[in-house]
Structure 1
Amino acid sequence: MSGHNKWSTIKHKKGAADAKRGKMFSKLIKEITIAARMGGGDPEGNPRLRTAVLAARGANMPKDNVERAIKRGTGEIEGANYEEINYEGYGPGGVAVLLEALTDNKNRTVAEIRHIFDKYNGNLGESGCVAWMFDKKGIIEVGAQGLSEDEVMELALEHGAQDVKQDGDVFEISSDPGDFETVRKAVEEKGWKIELAEITMIPQNTIKLEGKKAEQMLKMMDALDDHDDLQRVFANFDISEEDMLKASA
């Protein structure tokens, strides 16, 4: 499991996700809005919108909120005009950090992000400085209970997936982004429980952090995750679960 995913899992176990539900809803609404704007308001014909709507359902977002966000995206009702921007930089110890943002004020957003990097001994870099260190992948996590690795592997590879591995109580199926929808639909048709389904950025290698640098990195991740304009944060750190739990205590 990548450092960022491990960090997110530990935060969730400690209840941090529930405490930040309002921020989560805000980010999901932005994603639904821009997905509808770019690809239309029909989730069945717009894979990005479908993924966002499913994430909203998984977060128990009220249906009315989802429908309003779609209508803002299609122009049926007025709303903020968000722009997609990626930011890249380095955290403590040279950790690569890749950010996906949706903002209606680029100047404000970049200034605030630069401040976070500076505060935690990192630096915001130029476009392209770290993106090459990550691979774009489709990831689907399926509840492992009652399933064997062989049957998950057979279905996944038959529908274009690249790999299957067990991580605790889930099977993680990875694929090229272009095969993501095909694999997900095959899993859904089987009736298997999907714990997570997203197109994400996987680091090609990781940087191990300990002590003060690990603490700074986790504080930086918290600050970036809390920023209203940042949709997703990817980083290639490797911090032990023990150190993560200490830092989040």
Structure 2
Amino acid sequence: MAGHSKWKNIQRRKNAQDAKRGKIFMKAAKDIYIAAKQGGPDPEMNPALRLAIDKAKASNMPNDNIERAIKKATGTLDGASYEEVVYEGYGPGGTAVMVDILTDNKNRSASDVRHAFSKNGGNLGENGCVSFMFNRKGYLVIDRSTTDVDEDTLLLAVIEAGGEEMETSEDVFEIYTEPDQFNEVRAALENEGFTFETAEVTLIPTTYTSLAEQDQEKMERLIERLEDLEDVQEVYHNAELAE
């Protein structure tokens, strides 16, 4: 994990996503929908829903949109019924790619994802073909410009909170946890006064794949195309992309 910052991949997406605010809201609404559907409509009793709402608010999603998504999930408002699907495949240079989908039409989603892979140097694979190359982790990012804490002090706080690992770069502290410890670690650090640029349970590659320049360009196009699809919630990959 050391030396490969997930934060760089997040930063790379942000500029493109800023121009797609409507799609961001749609994806956030789907996150809220599935969390409320699975764990109930009360964010105080449903950590997944609380996290989805926090992410939606961080994107400046209106409260009315948030409430509408929860009502759809609980059946108090008519609307589409969504289900989660994960597609796995290979990108340029043999990179591993996983695509989280939330959709009301699996046939449409499968066709769109397969087309994105085939047109950008990759191919869709069978379930399980690359998932073993990723670990599910809690992931917290603290922007160093928002705190004057030093690395050693924060590391001690992370350890005491139950965090697993911390990486430090010029701009951010990246904190990793076991998935079932994520909410506990997050709450403990928030109680210490820390705020997070990113807070999520995500997939982290166990190894990274270096790409030739030509394959890197194809990989970037594949990621962009997948993230532009309406049903795609998240794209995970193990490509080592240049900044």
- Measured against the shorter chain, the TM-score band is over 0.9
Give the Cα separation in 2 of the matches to 1:24 and 1:160. 32
- What is the TM-score with the length of structure 1 in the denominator? 0.92
Equivalent position SS for 1:147: coil
- What is the TM-score with the length of structure 2 in the denominator? 0.94
Equivalent position SS for 2:77: coil
Aligned with residue 162 of structure 2, among 160, 163, 180: 160
Give the Cα separation in 2 of the matches to 1:95 and 1:238. 9
Q: What are the ranges of 5 or more consecutive residues in structure 2 without an aligned counterpart? A: none
Aligned with residue 204 of structure 1, among 206, 211, 230: 206
- AA matched with 1:35: A
Give the Cα separation in 2 of the matches to 1:3 and 1:56. 24
What are the superposed Cα offsets for residues 88-132 of structure 1, whole Å, 9 maximum, x if unpaired?
Answer: 000000000011100111111101111111101211000000000
Q: Which moved more, 1:221-230 or 1:187-196?
A: 187-196
Indicate if the aligned counterparts of 1:4 and 1:234 stay in contact, CA closer than 8 A: no
Q: Which moved more, 1:131-140 or 1:64-73?
A: 64-73
Which residue number corresponds to residue 239 of structure 1? 241
Deviation for aligned residue 1:7: 3.5
Indicate if the aligned counterparts of 1:113 and 1:224 stay in contact, CA closer than 8 A: yes
Give the Cα separation in 2 of the matches to 1:107 and 1:73. 22
Indicate if the aligned counterparts of 2:161 and 2:189 stay in contact, CA closer than 8 A: no
Give the Cα separation in 2 of the matches to 1:157 and 1:4. 20
Give the Cα separation in 1 of the matches to 2:28 and 2:124. 25
Deviation for aligned residue 1:5: 4.4
Give the Cα separation in 2 of the matches to 1:86 and 1:4. 20
Give the Cα separation in 2 of the matches to 1:5 and 1:190. 23
Q: What are the ranges of 5 or more consecutive residues in structure 1 without an aligned counterpart? A: 242-249
Which residue number corresponds to residue 88 of structure 1? 88
Give the Cα separation in 2 of the matches to 1:54 and 1:191. 17
What are the superposed Cα offsets for residues 19-43 of structure 1, whole Å, 9 maximum, x if unpaired?
Answer: 0111111000001011101100111
Give the Cα separation in 1 of the matches to 2:71 and 2:175. 33
